Chain A
Amino acid sequence: MADDKFDAIVVGAGPAGSACAYVLAKAGKNVLLVERGDSAGSKNVSGGRLYTYALEMIEPGMYKRAPLQRKIVREQIMLLDQHTATTIDYFDPRFAENVPQSHSVVRAKLDEWFASEVEAKGGTVASGILVDGLIEENDKIVGIRAGDEEMRSDVVVAADGINSMLGRKAGLFSDLEGHAVGVGIKETIELPDSVISARFAVKDDEGVARVAIGCTDGISGGAFLYTNQGSISLGIVFNPAQAAKQGRHIQEILQDFKMHPAILALIEGGTTIEYGAHLVPEVGYRGIPQRLYRDGMVVIGDAARFGINTGLIIRGMDLAIVSGLAAAQAILQAESTEAVGPMYMDKLEELMLLGEERAYQNFHQIFEIPHVFREVPKLANEAMQFLFTVDGKVPTPMVQGLMGVVKQNMSLGQILADGWKVYRSI
């Protein structure tokens, strides 16, 4: 293999790796995209929703070829108590117009398609190959090892996901820490498209993205629901450190959520066809490693721990794609392999990825406020109960009744302290 030196070897055919390889192949570079799954996407799990602008940056109109699920036109926030639920539903049909803002996605389909696009541009895709390590010569990364095989290139792009072994093997960063990640678990529930559209009040090509709190036994974290074509993705992301202290198994908490009457009504009659798990970077800008490159190597996507979670907006795949583009542009424009890394960092700034990360850099502190995950949703539901209950008796005066609900759940001091924390975080 030593004779077949590639311009770039990209490890991992997720959105980051495929985006990078696509741009390089399109520019005529000799690129190898290596994937450990039998097919791209077969090892991947996401919520998931993809914000379309990222694909537009790779190539305008490209999203039209992608196997995207439903255009998201309803953004929903759900607050759960044991038996009750309060849901805020923001409907905006403009989100589906022109270039739709976002789509639900199924990674097995999306990633397989994206890898095929790389092939169509002349890139080489090698699936079913687990990369064991890097080849290093004179303090420079010059290729990869997979079993007995060695493959060489000018640049290695590590797009090997949140557990990035390559980043650690290259000495760029240490392993993830429990407080900086979320563990996401998810069931895919099969349901006929017509049933999904009717239950969520959307057209057949349009869909819903929902976040929910109050369903994690008080653990920092939240649930999500996305409507796909013929299925619903339903899951929860937990802070694993808090889950460990709390003691109930997370799979069991997901079952509670699934069987909550307000959720069950949406999925009733469906069939669970898959159960998946994945780690997600949870502390945004502050979780991004100091070093994302060395001579001959750059780190992109989940491996670089790019993520934005405001509680309402959860982003990862779009940032992965943008980082793949940044790496590809750097590889195409740098005059030496040494210059690729610094230029990659410049491109991350230029493409605004790091600016966006910085804008949200304190948001994760909101998820450290314990009352957000139990008391706040409980309070909201009890307030609703008070407001909507009619029993033929003289009601408690409005203000007194609502204050009573508040005081049962939180003290005024706690509310002020939490409010201040939220203010400081955003």
Chain B
Amino acid sequence: MSIKRLSPEESLAVDKFSVDEGKPHIIVDKNICAHCSDRACLVVCPARLYQLKDNQISFEFAGCLECGTCRVMCSEGGVTSWNYPRATFGVSYRTS
């Protein structure tokens, strides 16, 4: 392989994750997000897990890099709950 421009999905594909199926560690309330005009999450989540679909914020917890940026930058409180994944789940860094 050589160096190329990677999409967010391709970037995440090289990481090792153990997904806690059905148990999101971050809860997002789309109804609150509907009234948010900042929507910082769309550009500052390093994994680009917040996206606009049908004009609504959609969030996918698998692929989370556990950095905390979305919680810190959420201005309207749409991120109603932010925790680390349960032990043994989430990202496992090997070379960072």
Q: Is A247 an interface residue (CB 8 A)?
A: yes
Nearest CB on B from A266, distance (A): 10
In angstroms, Cα B74 to Cα A244, docked, is 11
Supposing A244-B43, A251-B8, A279-B72 touch, asked if A183 and B67 sit within 8 A by C-beta, the answer is: yes
Give the distance in Å from the alpha carbon of A162 to the alpha carbon of B69 in the complex.
Answer: 11
Indicate if B91 sits at the interface (CB-CB under 8 A): yes
Which residues of chain B come closer than 8 Å to A177, judged between CB atoms?
Answer: 72
Binary CB contact string for chain A from 268 to 284 against chain B (1 if under 8 A, 0 otherwise): 11111111111100000
CB <8 Å contact, B96 and A274: yes
Whether A343 is near chain B, meaning CB under 8 Å from some CB there, is no
For residue A258, which residue of chain B has the nearest CB?
B3
Residues of A within 8 A of B11 (CB): 187, 251, 272, 275
Interface check A135, CB cutoff 8 A:
no
Q: How far is the CA of A246 from the CA of B43 in the complex (A)?
A: 9
Inside 8 A of B65's CB, which chain A residues have their CB?
A: 45, 275-278
Within the complex, the shortest CB–CB distance from B42 to chain A, in Å, comes to 8
Within 8 Å of chain B (Cβ to Cβ): is A354? Answer: no
Do B86 and A274 have beta carbons less than 8 Å apart? no
Q: Which of A34-42, A94-102, A390-398 contacts B (4 or more CB under 8 A)?
A: A34-42
Q: Which of A175, A246, A258 contacts B72 (CB 8 A)?
A: A175
Closest B residue to A259 by beta carbon equals: B5
> Taking the nearest CB of chain B, how far is it from the CB of A9, in angstroms?
16
B14: which of A44, A46, A243, A273 is its contact (CB, 8 Å)?
A273
Known: A240-B40, A258-B5. A273 touches B95 (CB 8 A): yes
Report how far A258 CA is from B93 CA in the complex, Å.
21
Q: How large is the interface on B (under 10, 10 to 19, 20 to 34, 35 or more residues)?
A: 35 or more
Residues of chain B within 8 A (CB-CB) of A246 are 43
A305 to chain B, nearest CB (A): 12
Q: Once the chains are docked, how many angstroms separate the CA of A20 from the CA of B48? A: 36
Residues of A within 8 A of B66 (CB): 43
Are B6 and A255 in contact (CB-based, < 8 A)?
yes
Residues of chain A in range 238-266 having any CB-CB distance to chain B below 8 Å: 238, 240-241, 243-244, 246-251, 255, 258-259, 264
Is B76 part of the binding interface, using a Cβ–Cβ cutoff of 8 Å?
no
**Interface 1/0s, chain B 48-85, versus A by CB < 8 A?**
10000000000000000111110111000000000111
The majority secondary structure among interface residues of chain B is loop
Decide if A243 touches B95 in the complex (CB within 8 Å).
no
Partner of A176, one of B42, B68, B87: B68
Of chain B, the residue at the smallest CB distance from A263 is: B3
The digit string for A49-70, where 1 denotes a CB below 8 A from any CB of B, is 0000000000000000000000
A163 lies within 8 A of chain B by Cβ:
yes
Q: Give a binary string over A96-139; 1 marks a CB under 8 Å from any B CB, 0 the rest.
A: 00000000001110000000000000000000111000000000
Please tell me if the beta carbons of B94 and A274 are within 8 angstroms of each other in the complex.
yes
Determine the chain B residues whose CB is within 8 A of the CB of A258 once the complex forms.
3, 5
Q: Which of B5, B15, B73, B86 has the most CB of A within 10 A?
A: B73
Give chain A nearest CB distance to B90 CB in angstroms: 7
Q: How far is the CA of A279 from the CA of B88 in the complex (A)?
A: 21
Which residues on the B side are within 8 Å of A273 (C-beta)?
A: 14, 94-95
CB of A231 closer than 8 Å to a CB of B: yes
Q: Are A276 and B44 in contact (CB under 8 A)?
A: no
Q: B12 at interface (Cβ–Cβ under 8 A)?
A: yes
CA distance A240 to B96 in the complex (A): 21
Contact with B along A167-190 (1 / 0, CB 8 A): 000000001111001010111111
A239 to chain B, nearest CB (A): 10
**CB within 8 Å of B: which A316-335 residues:** none
Interface residues of A (CB under 8 A from B): 36-38, 41-46, 106-108, 128-130, 146, 162-163, 165, 175-178, 181, 183, 185-190, 231, 233, 238, 240-241, 243-244, 246-251, 255, 258-259, 264, 267-279
A–B Cβ pairs within 8 angstroms, 10 of them? A106-B95, A108-B93, A181-B69, A183-B44, A243-B40, A246-B43, A264-B3, A273-B95, A274-B94, A275-B14
